[in-house]
Amino acid sequence: MSRIGRKPIPVPSSVTIAIEPELVTVNGPKGELRERIHRDITVAQEGEEILVTRPTDRGEHRALHGLTRSLVANMVEGVTAGFQKTLEIQGVGYRAVLKGTDLELALGYSHPVHVKAPAGIEFEVPVPTRIIVRGASKQVVGETAAYIRKQRPPEPYKGKGVRYEGEYVARKVGKRA
């Protein structure tokens, strides 16, 4: 049996947690996050730790237990340190520019692509070919980065497009004469 679900979640002193039936709220220096939890799973704070428990060892309860523990642990990490995803842009003339809090991308289309920053998300463009997406919610950071990548995914022949930092794009050989 795996022990990760039974592992308590440490809570830093700068974080406050409100546990209600079917709702967990975590406050910290980077903001506030709320998550609904399944009615069968119990979340309790004992001193400087949070414990997540399940009623039985049935498969459904084990799955919900691990999910709930991961969500609460990510909420605690998000309000203390935050999450970030880095995107790279490759291609001649492809670039990103920060316009206020929003992002403007030149990706080879006849028009610029505008990406509005969702609530709790901030963009950083240290160089025109690199975008950093930051926020407290791991889910929203990932969704926003995926949306930006979707505007021009990397293509396999020349490798042009928006990709995650360190992402490998399998290259194909073009037609030969």
What letter represents residue 6's amino acid?
Answer: R
CA distances from 27 to 15, 61, 106, 144, 171 (A): 6, 27, 37, 22, 45
Calculate mean pLDDT across residues 163-168: 94
DSSP states of 31-62 as a string?
Answer: EEEEEE--TT-EEEEETTEEEEE-S---HHHH
pLDDT tens by residue, 9-52 = 999 988 999 999 889 999 999 999 999 999 999 999 988 999 99
Structural domains in the chain plus CATH codes: 9-80 (3.90.930.12), 83-164 (3.90.930.12)
pLDDT tens per residue, range 56-105? 999 999 999 999 999 999 999 999 999 999 999 999 999 999 999 999 99
